[in-house]
Amino acid sequence: MDVTTFLSALTGSFSQSAGKNPTVSIMEAGFEAAHMDVRYINCEVAPQDLANAVKGAIAMGWLGFNCSLPHKEKIIAHLDSVGESARLIGAVNTVVIRDGQLTGENTDGKGFVEALRTQRDPRDAQAIIFGAGGAARAIAIELALAGATSITIVNRTAARGQALAEHVDQSTEAECSFTPWESQYKIPEDSDLIINATSIGFSPQDDQTLDVDLSTFPTGAVVADVVPNPPMTRWLQAAQDAGCVPLTGVGMLVNQALVNAKLWTGETLDAAVMHRALEEALGIS
């Protein structure tokens, strides 16, 4: 390996553990296919080392980095500026370093919206979002900024769902409200975008599905899942069987990586190459 090249254009992730991270496979495959001398590495950064890790990235000329939990909120104190959606979401998962200046963005929701655009325009959507955690928050804000008309948050813990709905309603143009999650929840007929943004369907909850009356899926609606593995969750299979259009969490992950690479390098990488790399990394090809 040419070490000079290796150090000249680094990107990566500041994670709690330096274990296997599918984003490494996606980014490395994308950069390689584009013949770019850019690498992506996963670094274990303990919370107390975050400030030094940031200084190190600047000193080594990194183009930027991703932050996963527990750094997504704490990183904001180390940045020079924060993009609009990251400010509204209150969390940063992508940092761009340019001329020593650090800008924070949140690309979780942007990845979702870009994946959604392959099926429909988010404008005028009447969306139902199950969940009120980090993924739901990012998706709700980004959908609202992309022109969704109405968003209903449905969550197990009412206080969390209520707080998210009020925040989105007050800080964006979209109408956003909370509905308590009653057993066998009935999806309103006029919903045209229905999203599982909970962790149900993801290991160890991969044999479970949402407590929803599956006979109420409106035919033709886009039904999405944030869970990337397995791609076709029980939730998505039921939606497809009911005549809906399924959107897997794989697209969200790949599109997030595409948005990150564009922010860092200005280049649009090959989505198909990255899609295949992710499938291989997850063992689903």
CB of 206 to ligand NDP, least distance (A): 10
Helix (H) or strand (E) holding 195: strand 193-196
The binder of ligand NDP chosen from 13, 66, 155, 233 (CB under 6 A): 155
Task: Return the range that interacts with ligand NDP (CB under 6 A); candidates 9-17, 35-43, 99-107, 130-138.
Answer: 130-138
Residue nearest to ligand NDP (CB): 133
Closest CA to 267 of 22, 33, 14: 33
Active site residue 20: no
CA distance 274 to 280: 10
Helix, coil or strand: residue 114: helix
The single-letter code of the amino acid at 77 is A
Asked if 140 interacts with ligand NDP (CB under 6 A), we say: no
CA distance 148 to 126: 7
Contacts of 15 (CB under 8 A, 6+ apart): 21, 42, 43, 44, 45, 68
Which tokens belong to 153? 């948050």
Asked if 160 interacts with ligand NDP (CB under 6 A), we say: yes
CB of 103 to ligand NDP, least distance (A): 20
Closest CA to 109 of 69, 67, 140, 138: 138
Q: Among residues 200 and 222, whose Cβ is nearest to ligand NDP?
A: 200
Task: Return the range that interacts with ligand NDP (CB under 6 A); candidates 26-34, 73-81, 195-203, 231-239.
Answer: 195-203
Closest CA to 272 of 249, 240, 245, 250: 250
Q: Among residues 5 and 237, whose Cβ is nearest to ligand NDP?
A: 237
Site pattern 61..100 for ligand NDP (x: CB under 6 A): ----------------------------------------
Asked if 187 interacts with ligand NDP (CB under 6 A), we say: no
Which residues contact ligand NDP by CB under 6 A?
A: 108, 111, 131-136, 155-157, 160, 198-200, 202, 226-228, 249, 252-253, 256
Catalytic residues: 72
